[in-house]
Amino acid sequence: MKIAIASGKGGTGKTFFSVNLAHSLDRELLLLDCDVEEPNVNLFLKGELVEQRDSTLLVPQVDLDLCDGCRVCADFCQFNAIAVIRGVPLIFEDLCHGCGGCTLFCPQKAMDDTPHKIGVISHYHKGKISLIEGRLDVGKALAVPVIRDVKGDKEVAKHPLVILDAPPGTSCPVVWSLSGCDLAILVTEGTPFGLHDLKLAVETVREVGIPFGVVVNRDGLGDERVVTYCQEENIPVVGKIPNDREIATLYAQGKIVVDELPHYRALFTQIWENIASLAKGGRYERVQ
């Protein structure tokens, strides 16, 4: 079972929820950190690094002996990644999206695809929790290929339970993170901003077409508008986490709340049962 934790924008407690959910379940599981521009899961997990490799994108390389400077490649490239100066192609790897068009259409067959590093994939381990983290190199623009590498890692198929921390927002990287998951959990809070951002997230998950539920974080802050919206839209609310300064304080220090405060472990276990039954398409006890 693959469950994605997402939110319409950052700062709603998405990573907090993923990490604490993982710790509350006393079982083997795999976490995927797909928030590759800001991978924070291991700041909290503090797992041991077991393996690391590069994440790469196939970009063109020119064989100048074969190139006749015809410019077909530069004219084709939609991303302005190639310029031709005095008959010599100049390639800007940072702008390349790796579509392969230039290599494919080069009349002289002078171009070749070569791997170009855009990020790092790291495997961490702590107790029963494994983590695969994708980290985009600073200054690189393409998050999706790194996310693809995280989700495509051979470890993923070996784990019966995978919890995926998606990037915030509604853009392409979010869609790539969510697609193929069995269920998405959208983390929000009961404020006007929270509701507005939740609606954007709902629009995105519906576009991807997977079932989803909502977790209300910092419950008590704000009002009932999120719950009312969920009822109107028939969206299950699988859990509510109270607005508790103690949580904020522990989290700010990088601590795992369910390990420090046992009553939250019980709450997360309950939320997990709701999520599991939602994933099976079954009924679950509605959260009060």
Partner 1 sequence: MKGSNKLEELVILSGKGGTGKTTLTSAFAALSDSLVLADCDVDAADLHLILNPTIVKREPFVEGNEAIVDPKLCTGCGYSANFCRFDAFRKEDDGTYSIDTIRCEGCGVCVRLCPASAIKFEERHCGHWMVSKTRFGTLVHAHLQAAGENSGKLVTLVRKEARKIALEEGKKLLLVDGPPGIGCPVISSVTGADKVVLVTEPSLSGLHDLERVSRLAANFEIPVYVCVNKADIAPKLTKEIEKSVKESDNKFVGTIPYDEALVQAQIKGLSPMEYLSAAGRNHIEKLWENIWETN
Partner 2 sequence: MRVAFTAGGESLDSPFDNRFGRAEKFIIYDTESDTFEVLDNTQNLQAVQGAGVQSAQHIIDSKVDELVTGNLGPKAAKIIFAAGILVYQAKAETVSEALAMYKSKAIKPLKEPTVEEHWV
What are the residues binding partner 1 (CB under 8 A)? 8-12, 37-38, 40, 43, 58, 76, 78-79, 97-101, 104-105, 141, 168-172, 174-176, 191-193, 196-197, 200, 203-204, 207-208, 221-223, 245, 248-249, 251-254
Q: Which of 81, 136, 183, 267 binds partner 2 (CB under 8 A)?
A: 81
Q: Give the Cα separation of 252 and 49 in Å (integer).
A: 23
Q: Give the Cα separation of 247 and 241 in Å (integer).
A: 10
19 is a contact residue toward partner 2 (CB under 8 A): no
Residues 12/194, Cβ–Cβ less than 8 Å? yes
Q: Give the Cα separation of 130 and 257 in Å (integer).
A: 19
Pairing label, strands 237-242, 82-85: unpaired
Question: Closest approach of Cβ 97 to partner 2, in Å?
Answer: 9
Given the complex with partner 1, which of 47 and 168 has the nearer CB atom? 168
197 binding partner (options partner 2, partner 1, none; Cβ < 5 to 8 Å by kind): partner 1
63 binding partner (options partner 1, partner 2, none; Cβ < 5 to 8 Å by kind): none
φ, ψ of residue 149 to 5 degrees: the values are -65, -40
Instruction: Tell me the CB-side half-sphere exposure of residue 11, using CA atoms within 13 A.
Output: 5
Q: Give the Cα separation of 44 and 2 in Å (integer).
A: 21
Question: Closest approach of Cβ 204 to partner 1, in Å?
Answer: 4
239 binding partner (options partner 2, partner 1, none; Cβ < 5 to 8 Å by kind): none
Beta-bridged to residue 6, according to DSSP, are 186
Residues 168/35, Cβ–Cβ less than 8 Å? yes
85 is a contact residue toward partner 2 (CB under 8 A): yes
Question: Closest approach of Cβ 72 to partner 1, in Å?
Answer: 11
Question: Closest approach of Cβ 171 to partner 1, in Å?
Answer: 6
231 is a contact residue toward partner 2 (CB under 8 A): no
Segment near partner 2 (CB under 8 A); pick from 19-27, 76-84, 161-169, 251-259: 76-84
Q: Which of 26, 53, 80, 224 binds partner 2 (CB under 8 A)?
A: 80
Radius of gyration of the CA atoms of the chain, in A: 22
User: What is the DSSP-derived secondary structure letter of residue 63?
Assistant: -
Instruction: Write out the binding residues for partner 2, residues 89-108 only, by CB under 8 A.
Output: 90, 92, 94-95
196 binding partner (options partner 1, partner 2, none; Cβ < 5 to 8 Å by kind): partner 1
Given the complex with partner 2, which of 57 and 181 has the nearer CB atom? 57
Closest CA relative to residue 166, chosen from 157, 175, 154, 156 = 175
Closest CA relative to residue 12, chosen from 256, 214, 287, 176 = 214
